[in-house]
Amino acid sequence: MNKLLIVGTVAFDAIETPFGQTDKILGGAATYISLSASQFGVKSGIVSVVGGDFPKEYLDKLNAKNISTEGIEVIEDGKTFFWKGVYHNDLNSRDTLITDLNVLADFNPVVPQEFKDADFLMLGNLHPAVQMAVINQIPVRPKLVALDTMNFWMDNTLDELMEVIAKIDVITINDEEARQLSGEYSLVKAAQKIHKMGPKFVVIKKGEHGALLFNNGDVFFAPALPLEEVFDPTGAGDTFAGGFIGHIAKSGDISFDNMKRAVISGSNLASFCVEKFGTERMENLSEDEIQKRLLQFKLLTQFDIELS
Ligand code: AMP
């Protein structure tokens, strides 16, 4: 069985959408990625940090999904990373109101012995210095290294982020971040520029408008499933990344054709994530539901046309 190591925030989130708001609930990039990847039955573990205020039952929830939390350091006298965001009425855009790094500010990650030979590495959203420290602790390069990041790190730690981007195979970012990183409005041109920074595969997430996968000259597009109701988009991007890397880790196949399936798997899982607040939907998701929705994806995109 392939091993998947996931790095990213494990957090408290406070979320406000047009449909309601939450107090501090379980969130974080690594949380969403791991819950999503856990659907593929691979052996996965998280490297992250939390404070003494982080409830043990949140770790238990991850363990219940067979996600190893041995690499989550608990700083007893510290506070957990906290993020607060508010969504606009279209739910496609949001404002970050608070990002309190807390224990993340001077975190020195330690990769557990069991994951030093990870076959796949998912560098989820967090400080690029932490992402780099994890890369450096894995002696044999994994079969595939994927990275997800966001504008916060582009704004605050661009040089360190660029060093990490130079070392990875796949980057997953949203359209606005791709534009910011490349300085190009056209996403095709943006992907070309990002290829030159390092990654052979560039995945650009476009929220309810799907995702694009670029591999030099080749492009693939996956729609997002048109949903009757979107409740809370928080974590959709991370859930997408978790589904993407989970699919690849399960199959062990890093070809472009398999990445197309991985993009569909990611989009499929993200479609569930947005149906409830926070991680709730991802904690209660059956294989049967996943398979039924995959069929919907197939029907959504299949067509016959005569070429003359
Ligand atoms: P997404 O909606 O997929 O972009 O991810 C939302 C998750 O990212 C939330 O659970 C937050 O805790 C987490 N998050 C927000 N800002 C940051 C940041 N600057 N670094 C790492 N994780 C973050």
Q: Give the pLDDT band of residue 200 (cuts 50, 70, 90).
A: very high
Q: Give the pLDDT band of residue 91 (cuts 50, 70, 90).
A: confident
What is the per-residue pLDDT for 285?
Answer: 96
Contact 121, 146 (CB under 8 A): yes
- Which residue is closest in CA terms to ligand 1's atom 16? 83
The finding on whether 215 has its CB within 6 A of some atom of ligand 1 is no
Please state, as a whole number, how many other Cβ atoms lie within 10 Å of the Cβ of residue 142: 20
Kindly tell me the burial class for residue 303, based on how many C-beta atoms sit within 10 Å of its own C-beta (0-12, 13-18, 19 or more): exposed
In the predicted model, what is the mean pLDDT of residues 68-93?
Answer: 95
The enclosing H or E element of 211 equals strand 211-215
Mutate to test the pocket of ligand 1, among 46, 49, 97, 125 (most ligand atoms within 8 A of CB): 125
Q: How far is CA 46 from CA 109, 139, 249, in A?
A: 11, 18, 15
Helix (H, G, I), strand (E, B) or coil at 107: coil
Mutate to test the pocket of ligand 1, among 83, 100, 156 (most ligand atoms within 8 A of CB): 83
The finding on whether 125 has its CB within 6 A of some atom of ligand 1 is yes
The finding on whether 80 has its CB within 6 A of some atom of ligand 1 is no
The whole-angstrom separation of Cα 242 and Cα 4 is 10
Q: Which residues contact 113 (CB under 8 A, 6 or more apart)?
A: none
Measured in whole angstroms, the distance separating CA 32 from the mean position of its chain's CA atoms is: 7
Beta bridge partners of 230: none
Residue 151 sits at φ, ψ, to 5 deg, of -55, -30
Place of tokens 């904690």: 283
Contact 232, 15 (CB under 8 A): yes
pLDDT, tens only, 157-168? 999 999 999 999
Tokens of 45: 């573990």
- Strand extents, DSSP E, 28-126: 43-51, 67-75, 82-87, 94-100, 120-123
The whole-angstrom separation of Cα 68 and Cα 304 is 45
For 208-239, b/e burial (b = at least 16 CB within 10 A) is bebbbbbbeeeebebebbeeeebbbbbbbbbb
The finding on whether 109 has its CB within 6 A of some atom of ligand 1 is no
pLDDT, tens only, 95-128? 999 999 999 999 999 999 999 999 999 999 999 9
The finding on whether 28 has its CB within 6 A of some atom of ligand 1 is yes
- 229: amino acid identity, one letter: E
Helix (H, G, I), strand (E, B) or coil at 168: coil
Interior angle at CA 27, CA 22 and CA 29, nearest 5:
145
The finding on whether 177 has its CB within 6 A of some atom of ligand 1 is no
Give the number of the atom of ligand 1 that is nearest the alpha carbon of residue 233: 2
The finding on whether 33 has its CB within 6 A of some atom of ligand 1 is no
- 146: amino acid identity, one letter: A
pLDDT, tens only, 221-273? 999 999 988 999 999 999 999 999 999 999 999 999 999 999 999 999 999 99
pLDDT at 90 over 90: no
